[in-house]
Structure 1
Amino acid sequence: MNSQRPANTFRNAPQQPRPKAAHSSMQRLQKTGRWQRARRFIRERPMLERIYWFCVKAFLWLFFGSIGYVIVLKYVPVWVTPLVVSRWMDTFGTDESSHVYKKWRSYDEISKEAALAVVASEDQAFPTHWGFDFDEIQDAIKENQHRKRPRGASTISQQVAKNVFLWSGRSYIRKGLEVYFTALIELIWGKKRILEVYLNVAETGPMTFGVEAASQRYYGHSAASLTRNEAARMAAVLPNPRLFSIKNPSNYIQRRTRQIARQMRYLGGQKYIRNL
């Protein structure tokens, strides 16, 4: 009886050579050829070449200039924003006062009740997200399919990026720049500086910007001594400070003030923002 195992003809069969990746190589050659033809096309037209290099240099200047500007504003108070200029220009030819109420205060000179109030009302995930609250964005997209007035999902970081660096309006270009500057300030400034700038540049009333100016104008004292209820009422008007009033709150603002004060307690008080 033959105890030898039959030979494995499949294993011992000669290996077929693998086909070369000719297709991918051809694609790379085609792309390289197109790029070389485009460069030759530009070089043969001096005016087009000058426009091309102008655009490249302008992009590099704007890119590195924006990074440098963000670094400077990490340490320097933000005295003027596009929103302040826009509101000031809106007063031309009207009966409104053109005086701008705005006073910069450092984060340590502002009551932490004010900081907690804006976080509780505007962006409760602020201490943990990286500039964008994707859960809130998804919820807003679903809700806006059935709402007449779209609900926003901007974080405090996004609002700071928009107010400090960009113009008002809705466009894909502005939204793309908002994403860019939001990522920059999250990376360079950090949470504490972002919140400090927000508390100083947010519109809090007609021609009024920042919690210090609003506190002195409507409460008669510094933002350092804001109470929880005062801070909550100030945060309650932030969605539309030109329509809602801190000094003469409507029933809606009073109800929203109580809701924000409850959220401040549920978050655990000032310790919620202690380690920004």
Structure 2
Amino acid sequence: MRERMRETPQECRARVERQCRDVGMIDPALIAQHVEHGCREKPEWQALQEQAGMALNQYRAHHGGVALFRAYRLHRKAMALWRRDATEQAIEVSAGQRDQAGRGANWYTVGDLFSLQQSQILSDLDDVIVDLDNVISNEWDSVEQLPALTAALRIWRTTSPAVIRGIETKWRTELAMIDHYRGMSESRIFRSERSMLMQVAQQLGISYQTTRRHWIAFLKANPIQTKWTLEVTKFARMRRPSKRDFDRVARELQIADEPSAETLDRSHLKEVQPSQIEPAKKARKRPVKSTWARDMPLSKRSKNGSR
């Protein structure tokens, strides 16, 4: 509605004419009727219809019976006001004739939208009616009948701010844990589920037990996500370093930190001048005894000895 208030009447007429021609509308009188209706302010029945849709979404998000009853009441009031609008009824008849002629099969009229919303509200009300029938058909004590009726009408399950904050916290917990598992899948660095839950709890400002409860409920409701987290953990564990690797790295760091012989402090040694260094004595060779006489035969020894 704010966008319509910012645009000029000429722009509004051009926009509505373009929308009418896009859906296959040919009759100039019908186009002019749509232009006149589309450029005016939002009617009351349309505002009530939108409020009914919002209340229905609140009920489906939080299961509050009060929101469902409010959606039904607003829907009935909006439909009654729409049926009293002569211009809207004329447009509805023209749109119905156009659909019967085979044009605009994907175009939903206002009546179609009302029928769709009504079927959604009534389908949700069926569960409430079934629970009420069960309560009425059974014999209850006066003390137990009131809580049973309250549960059947879903009165206490309202869309309170606390419920909304709880659901938002649950969604944020699920998204944060999925991001942590995605990071572990990309880096292949193993992280325990407890460490990730504690980090998420610290980020969101909630307790570890609440974070763990939300995550376990999410895994139970989504078996495919459970399988994915197990696969990510499995492949990350395959790349996890063992104790032997840690010991090897520690030894290498220890060896690297030890000082070498050249870096030792030599200040306690006495300084020696080069002239005071005595030359190294040449080692004498030990005489090697010859073994030629021992290996010589006796006959030759005598001859050599006679010489």
TM-score bracket for the superposition, by shorter chain length: under 0.3
TM-score, reference length from structure 1:
0.22
The higher-RCO structure (CA 8 Å, 6+ apart) is: 1
TM-score, reference length from structure 2:
0.20
Larger-Rg structure? 2
Structure with greater helix percent: 2
